[in-house]
C-alpha cells in the first residue's frame, strides 16, 4: 500500500566556509543543547537526482562484487525515496544564527536537510556487524574512512 508522506526541510547544507548546516530561523530553537554532543546524524535529500521508478536490481557498483545487487543493498542515490543519512562531527554551533559547523558531510552544497539527530552509541553503534566478503575489508569506523582508498572499490569514477 502506497502512502503519501509530506515532509518539511529544516535547512540546507553549505560548503561556503567548510561544511555546515544552515537551519531555517523557525527551527533554530531546536538546536539548543546540541553542542553537548560530539556528533550528529543528518538526514538529507538527494535533490539533484531522479530515480527511474523501476530499477531495483543494478549491476555491481563495487569492483570486488561480481553479481547484480539489489538497490537496498547499496548506498546509491537512486532510490524510491531519495533520503541520505550522514554522521558528522560538530565543530561549532551557533543556535541564534542556525549554523552547525561540521568536519565533513557527503552532501552537496545546497542540499535540503530533513532532520538532525544527536549521535549516541547506545542506539547508533553496532558492535557485532556482519558484512559480505566483498566489503569486509572496508574501515569499521568513520575516522578510518578518510584514509581508505575508496576509488579502488567502485566501478565508477568518484
Instruction: Give residue-wise pLDDT tens across range 116-146.
Output: 999 999 999 999 999 999 999 999 999 999 8
Q: What is the model's pLDDT at position 158?
A: 46
- In the chain, the number of structural domains is 1
Domain region containing 31 = 11-47+82-125
- Report the predicted TM-score, pTM, of the whole model to 2 decimal places: 0.92
The per-residue b/e assignment along 7-46, b for 16 or more CB within 10 angstroms, e otherwise, is eeebbbbbeeeebbbbbeeebbeebeeeeeeebbbbebbb
The verdict on residue 151 lying in a domain is no
Q: What is the model's pLDDT at position 6?
A: 93
CATH code for position 104: 2.40.30.70
Amino acid at each position: 500500500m502506497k502512502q503519501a508522506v509530506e515532509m518539511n526541510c529544516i535547512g540546507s547544507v553549505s560548503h561556503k566556509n567548510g561544511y555546515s548546516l544552515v537551519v531555517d530561523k523557525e527551527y533554530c530553537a531546536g538546536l539548543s543543547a546540541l553542542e553537548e554532543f560530539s556528533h550528529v546524524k543528518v538526514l538529507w535529500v538527494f535533490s539533484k537526482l531522479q530515480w527511474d521508478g523501476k530499477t531495483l536490481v543494478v549491476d555491481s557498483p563495487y569492483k570486488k562484487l561480481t553479481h547484480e545487487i539489489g538497490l537496498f543493498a547499496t548506498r546509491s542515490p537512486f532510490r524510491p525515496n531519495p533520503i541520505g543519512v550522514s554522521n558528522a562531527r560538530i565543530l561549532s554551533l551557533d543556535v541564534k544564527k542556525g549554523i552547525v559547523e561540521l568536519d565533513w558531510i557527503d552532501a552537496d552544497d545546497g542540499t535540503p536537510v530533513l532532520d538532525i539527530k544527536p549521535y549516541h552509541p547506545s542506539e547508533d553503534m553496532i558492535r557485532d556487524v556482519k558484512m559480505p566478503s566483498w566489503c569486509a575489508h572496508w574501515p569499521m569506523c568513520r575516522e578510518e574512512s578518510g584514509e581508505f582508498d575508496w576509488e579502488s572499490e567502485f566501478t565508477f569514477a568518484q
